[in-house]
Chain A
């Protein structure tokens, strides 16, 4: 603000200048007058008084000033007693600032800090999750050892809290407690183990962080959660993603075998260093033949890929290092583009990314070669960035690009930044040694630089030329002469030393010059740098041995000077040389070999990248940046020779389900919670029984049929048949299924469950996000519009609103959590029971106004629907559309490539709510171009639809590359009939007539309802509305899981929890009219069963009956 108030803030200890300034004039607060005149000590007295005051404004003001002091690093600890009294203040901001203070000083004032503990203990029991979470946060930040047991207890309780946000804070608290008291490790590991099983995206990152800090070696804790973490990854917040990816990289290196083939894996060299050639060959052969990637390994690689497009540089880098360390070599290439993109970011990001690229580019030139120009240096780049870019350019240099690069280097050599120019000269030297074609060109260029005006440039050139000449000793007399002349002018010691060494080495090639140089040097010996002195001695020795006639005396003179030099190294060297070259009685046999010793052929120095040795650090780590092992660096292990048992990652669902039954005591506490947990349990149990045998048989069967080749390309294309949100996990599942069938183990059932669970998670998260999308619309008119839109969303949204509306009023925690908690905690196979009707009833009881208003709103919008919907008016809470139990991967041919002149099309029902309209069934169409030319302008032409039927077409596809494939979404309103939708699929040149006829089961949307409601509805749909039939089949076909699997495969129905073992109920509603469709399978004596369908839509009811009957009867 004004300079006035700024000056003021200086005096008042950095408090909020603006506010204080206004305080002073407003005279409402007493604080205004104080700060102005008081000294430091007195000021604290004022603060104490203000804190004692009974006005919140004064207290707040005092706290603000105190925080100002803390921020400046001034000591405010003597105020502790006065501050801590306010910990229970009603004013949120005062409270917050007191927390800030407490966390800062509690360690110093342990006894007083204990006074505040009870406040937090109370808050830990608060019904509001945010208050519980913040209490835990502050409590665990108070570093007072005496409260360790209290913290431990609080963490344990919070880790079982219904709110994922509280559980997240519990995960953070684990690390705090661990650093306060490492003795608690074992107990904390138990909590970590529990939280690792959590399926909330909020918790995942934090708990993995705790894992990494407390027990990174307990890799066994990850097994069971591995697939879940892979699948959740995309939805975790960005910071959590980084931590999880790093952890999973380590995990993968211990659990999977190397996907790198011998011939292209540099890393493998070390491993097989001691193996004999034969061995290695054998191994290579074996590996080549037998290597198939573990599907879990593939899952990780695939699920991290989209994160390469994250806006967060740390996430991109984390994925890049994951690819580098665990993906097959052929797939690493995709990270280059993303890393190069990061170079547009700020200098710090550039610095780290360039370092990592430098390491990578040594081993894999090809990866970054296409981006060569991205590493060109700008004159405005900071030197550290310039040097790194230069390093990379050098690594990328090859015969093809070297001439361009040298031209670029020429510019750099002239740079005003001399440090950089010097680095460029070294680079040129390295290029010269690495690429023999240009050695001479480089050498000539460097020689030209010897006449440069800048000494640093010349000196660097000398050093580099020296190295180059050493590699090609012959025919460089001219250059050496030129350099000898430089000795008169150049002062940089390294350069002088280099020249002397060169002359010494080549003294026989320049017989006239060498002695003269020695003469000149002898003259100025005493004033030379130590480095130069050593080389003068060497030169003397070499000349003495080759040309003693001319130089004997000179050398002895120099040796005498050296003998009395101040530097002991020089004295030592002098003594050593004298003994070796000057023959006397004492000198032994060695002097005979003096010439051989001094003038031996010396190996040429290797001009290597300084990044050569960094690759043993995991990329993207601090250790890699520093090139030393940082504290807490976790070594990346070598691939195991034999993969550990992959079955450890299979998840037993029952265990999980139990784990997630909310703590027993929650039941007693409040009715809503009680209901919730009961229903959970109920579902769990029915679920676990229904799942025990799983559906994997048929699922894998279908998948096999879809194409069993295990190579990646076919897998990719097949994955495109599936819905967007699921393709990733589905493909993973498919692989799992495949492996299972191959290995013939009895794990089938478990795996099947995994699959289901996986697709479940992705489903529910999807559904969740879509419902949130809607939640922005709130006004009544909008809700009407929603009624038009897909009604599954609507209902979901309503629940959400209901929940949210309740929250501020009743502060009932458990309700608020449901939407986070629900989708993830409900295990397998059951539709997410968003809110069951009786819970709604509970809600109504709990709060009066909001819920009921929401419900009436919904009622009202439903009434605007056609007559058939009326029936639901009274019960509308029952029609909660849930997520599909199962999505068959079966695709149908829309257009065969033969009849489509190379254009092939398949369609598939993703069972997802359609985004184009709430009465439409969503259909995904995958188009493949099997020709060798582009297919252009693919669109839908004429439609021939039965009356009432509507279709939302996909946008025109401009062009489809050869071998290309694209998946598009459509929506078709089939009007609850199985009539065929006929239309034309057109390209630029042709039009093909195609048809989509929906299986009756796809005209439904699953509904979640309770058994009671089901019976009630069923009671109203009797007579004409009921069709039934008797099924005869072997008893093994009547196990709950087989029935479930068969029914959901045919029809998109939801499962209704059943109290009777022999009755299975399924509920759905038709997409167009929203009529209920109730399916009952009642097992009878012997091997018969009664199949009953109750619906108003008798036509499709009987079609469904006809379709279900043979399926259920089949063996």
Chain B
């Protein structure tokens, strides 16, 4: 299946390679670079590229390309999903999935890749199994290791791989057992939603189907239990509104920009962490704005305007006003830019979903249970 993997940074350096079968020359990446050049934008590099002898399937994550080399027919999603799993694992181990982190921990990275695939077929991809095989680095451990010469490889033989439930090791034992639920809801404002769920493999499908109860043996540590979508009919309301007035004058080198944000149906909760991002048209040279609250930046190269608003206080609605400098002589942009909005509402699940109860069987004591609700903006776009 997966023959080789190359990690490539934004400037096109191949800084790590790993082969699971015989070695494939780095030159195969030239086809990738070619496609990258053609695509202009990193986001538009096709995930699947065909070359004379190989196929390249790649993902773009955290400013890095994970390029895998494939030789024969394979479901592309299989590879894509796996590569994302690799990136997730790096994130999990090193706190970030960056070139520096990978280079700093190259041995662990190699050991991980060795365990995750055998002959190109996924072997151990669950993070808690991997953590049993290879311990994540900590500052303390690396100090101790360098003094004692010991290593990050677990010295007991791991049994997790032998388990029939791949997400939980046998015999996990703690003095305190705690169950926290984070209910995080994201609002997609353009896309309508319908109620559909996806589950972590630990959930018993049958119980869900017959009783609508989520019955599971929890993995040890953080995990995403379910993802769900709620259809728009049930959705109470969009919690914010935006008043906007963006105009460019014909044959003039300036335009007006004026947006105001206000809360709508916030159910008594404060809307916080508001950020507005606007991709301005190419002809915009600079912007001269005054925010009533928060701060703004405009990057004249990428033409991205970012306004960090913070909290909304209903007494005084935050607004951002000012002038836009356009390239003189250029025709005025015919479309106004869309506004992308981020926000967060604590202690609220906008769909009304709540964790009704947590029953635990087979344990005598009551574990600590905590539930936290957050509503966030997902892909929240306002067309102007």
Q: Closest approach, in angstroms, between the C-beta of B331 and any C-beta of chain A?
A: 5
Fill in one digit per residue for A361-396: 1 if any B CB lies within 8 Å of its CB, else 0: 000000000110110101110111000000000000
A310 touches B190 (CB 8 A): no
Q: A19-B146, A772-B170, A777-B363 are in contact. Are A130 and B158 (CB under 8 A)?
A: yes
Q: A237-B166, A310-B199, A772-B217 are in contact. Are A724 and B206 (CB under 8 A)?
A: yes
Is B173 in the interface zone, CB < 8 Å from A? yes
Is A176 in the interface zone, CB < 8 Å from B? yes
Question: Which B-chain residue is minimally distant from A17 (CB atoms)?
Answer: B104
Is B26 in the interface zone, CB < 8 Å from A? yes
B44 touches A9 (CB 8 A): no
Q: A93-B152, A778-B173 are in contact. Are A309 and B205 (CB under 8 A)?
A: yes
Partner of B84, one of A316, A346, A788: A346
Of A237, A383, A804, most B-chain CB atoms within 10 Å: A237
Chain A, 769-788, CB within 8 A of any chain B CB: 769, 772-779, 781-782, 784-786, 788
Is A893 in the interface zone, CB < 8 Å from B? no
Is A317 in the interface zone, CB < 8 Å from B? yes
Q: Closest approach, in angstroms, between the C-beta of A423 and any C-beta of chain B?
A: 13
Chain B, 283-326, CB within 8 A of any chain A CB: none
A373 touches B75 (CB 8 A): no
Is B82 in the interface zone, CB < 8 Å from A? yes
Question: Which A-chain residue is minimally distant from B229 (CB atoms)?
Answer: A341
Q: A242-B75, A347-B43 are in contact. Are A626 and B48 (CB under 8 A)?
A: yes
Report Cα–Cα, A776/B360, bound state, in Å.
12
Report Cα–Cα, A630/B153, bound state, in Å.
39
Q: What are 24 sample pairs from A and B whose C-beta atoms fall under 8 A apart?
A: A9-B103, A15-B106, A28-B147, A29-B149, A70-B110, A93-B153, A137-B118, A143-B21, A309-B199, A337-B194, A343-B191, A347-B60, A379-B338, A416-B333, A626-B55, A727-B206, A728-B206, A765-B164, A768-B164, A769-B165, A772-B217, A781-B364, A800-B170, A969-B211
Fill in one digit per residue for A144-177: 1 if any B CB lies within 8 Å of its CB, else 0: 0000000000000000000111000100110110
A784 touches B165 (CB 8 A): no
Query: With A93-B151, A765-B164 given, can you name 7 additional A-B contacts, CB distance below 8 Å?
Result: A16-B142, A165-B162, A313-B77, A376-B190, A622-B76, A774-B362, A786-B362
Which of B119-127, B236-244, B253-261, B345-353 touches A?
B119-127
Q: Closest approach, in angstroms, between the C-beta of A352 and any C-beta of chain B?
A: 5
Report Cα–Cα, A773/B74, bound state, in Å.
35
Number of interface residues of B (CB under 8 A): 122
Chain B interface (Cβ within 8 Å of chain A)?
A: 1, 14-19, 21-23, 26, 41, 43-44, 46-48, 50, 55, 58-61, 70-78, 80-82, 84, 100, 103-107, 109-111, 114, 118-119, 121-123, 125, 137, 139, 142-143, 145-149, 151-153, 155-159, 161-166, 168, 170-173, 188, 190-192, 194, 196-201, 204-207, 209-211, 213, 217, 224, 227, 229, 279, 281-282, 331, 333-335, 337-338, 340, 361-365, 378-379, 381, 383
A966 touches B155 (CB 8 A): no
Number of interface residues of A (CB under 8 A): 155
A628 touches B50 (CB 8 A): yes
Chain A residues with CB under 8 Å of B362's CB are: 773-774, 777, 785-786, 789, 793
B211 touches A104 (CB 8 A): no
Partner of B282, one of A9, A416, A816: A416
Report Cα–Cα, A6/B146, bound state, in Å.
17
Report Cα–Cα, A916/B199, bound state, in Å.
24
Question: Which A-chain residue is minimally distant from B85 (CB atoms)?
Answer: A312
B119 touches A371 (CB 8 A): no
B200 touches A311 (CB 8 A): yes
Is A338 in the interface zone, CB < 8 Å from B? yes
Chain A residues with CB under 8 Å of B198's CB are: 309-311, 316, 338, 341
B191 touches A107 (CB 8 A): no
Chain A residues with CB under 8 Å of B155's CB are: 92
Question: Which A-chain residue is minimally distant from B378 (CB atoms)?
Answer: A344
Q: A313-B77, A631-B72 are in contact. Are A374 and B192 (CB under 8 A)?
A: yes
Is A411 in the interface zone, CB < 8 Å from B? yes
Question: Which B-chain residue is minimally distant from A805 (CB atoms)?
Answer: B171
B103 touches A14 (CB 8 A): yes
B199 touches A18 (CB 8 A): no
Chain A residues with CB under 8 Å of B26's CB are: 73
Report Cα–Cα, A785/B158, bound state, in Å.
28
Chain B residues with CB under 8 Å of A776's CB are: 168, 171-173, 217, 363
Fill in one digit per residue for A812-825: 1 if any B CB lies within 8 Å of its CB, else 0: 00001001100000
A201 touches B55 (CB 8 A): no
Chain A residues with CB under 8 Å of B22's CB are: 107, 143
B364 touches A317 (CB 8 A): no
Q: A341-B229, A378-B190, A380-B381 are in contact. Are A67 and B107 (CB under 8 A)?
A: yes
Is A349 in the interface zone, CB < 8 Å from B? yes
Report Cα–Cα, A864/B107, bound state, in Å.
53
A371 touches B194 (CB 8 A): yes
Chain A residues with CB under 8 Å of B196's CB are: 337-338, 340-341
Q: A55-B149, A71-B18 are in contact. Are A782 and B164 (CB under 8 A)?
A: no
Is A333 in the interface zone, CB < 8 Å from B? no
Chain A, 322-359, CB within 8 A of any chain B CB: 337-338, 340-341, 343-344, 346-349, 351-353
Q: Closest approach, in angstroms, between the C-beta of A89 and any C-beta of chain B?
A: 12
Chain B residues with CB under 8 Å of A773's CB are: 217, 361-362
B146 touches A313 (CB 8 A): no
Enumerate the 6 nearest inter-chain pairs by beta-carbon distance, A residue then B residue, closest first: A57-B149, A785-B364, A632-B72, A93-B151, A724-B206, A382-B43
Report Cα–Cα, A899/B145, bound state, in Å.
75
Is A623 in the interface zone, CB < 8 Å from B? yes
Is A414 in the interface zone, CB < 8 Å from B? yes
Report Cα–Cα, A96/B154, bound state, in Å.
11
Q: Closest approach, in angstroms, between the C-beta of B152 and any C-beta of chain A?
A: 7
Is A808 in the interface zone, CB < 8 Å from B? yes
Chain A, 612-660, CB within 8 A of any chain B CB: 620-623, 625-626, 628, 630-634
Q: A340-B196, A348-B47 are in contact. Are A318 and B151 (CB under 8 A)?
A: no
B75 touches A246 (CB 8 A): yes
Is A993 in the interface zone, CB < 8 Å from B? no
Is A314 in the interface zone, CB < 8 Å from B? yes
Q: Closest approach, in angstroms, between the C-beta of A66 and any C-beta of chain B?
A: 10
Chain A residues with CB under 8 Å of B80's CB are: 313-314, 348-349, 352
Q: A72-B16, A966-B211 are in contact. Are A6 and B100 (CB under 8 A)?
A: yes
Chain A residues with CB under 8 Å of B210's CB are: 720, 724, 966-968
Q: Closest approach, in angstroms, between the C-beta of A93 and any C-beta of chain B?
A: 4
A380 touches B340 (CB 8 A): yes
Of B73, B77, B165, most A-chain CB atoms within 10 Å: B77
Is A234 in the interface zone, CB < 8 Å from B? yes
Q: Closest approach, in angstroms, between the C-beta of B306 and any C-beta of chain A?
A: 14
Chain B residues with CB under 8 Å of A808's CB are: 156-157
Question: Which A-chain residue is minimally distant from B220 (CB atoms)?
Answer: A776
Is A179 in the interface zone, CB < 8 Å from B? yes
B205 touches A179 (CB 8 A): no
Report Cα–Cα, A128/B157, bound state, in Å.
9
Chain B residues with CB under 8 Å of A777's CB are: 362-363
B73 touches A633 (CB 8 A): yes
Q: A352-B80, A772-B165, A773-B217 are in contact. Are A97 and B107 (CB under 8 A)?
A: yes
Question: Which A-chain residue is minimally distant from B105 (CB atoms)?
Answer: A16
Fill in one digit per residue for A48-70: 1 if any B CB lies within 8 Å of its CB, else 0: 00000001110010001001101
Report Cα–Cα, A816/B122, bound state, in Å.
24
Chain A, 1-29, CB within 8 A of any chain B CB: 1, 6, 9, 14-19, 22-23, 26, 28-29
Q: Closest approach, in angstroms, between the C-beta of A357 and any C-beta of chain B?
A: 13
Is A306 in the interface zone, CB < 8 Å from B? yes
Chain A residues with CB under 8 Å of B104's CB are: 1, 6, 9, 16-18
Partner of B383, one of A411, A772, A800, A819: A411
Report Cα–Cα, A129/B145, bound state, in Å.
28
Is A725 in the interface zone, CB < 8 Å from B? yes
Chain A residues with CB under 8 Å of B50's CB are: 626, 628, 630
Chain B residues with CB under 8 Å of A28's CB are: 146-147, 149
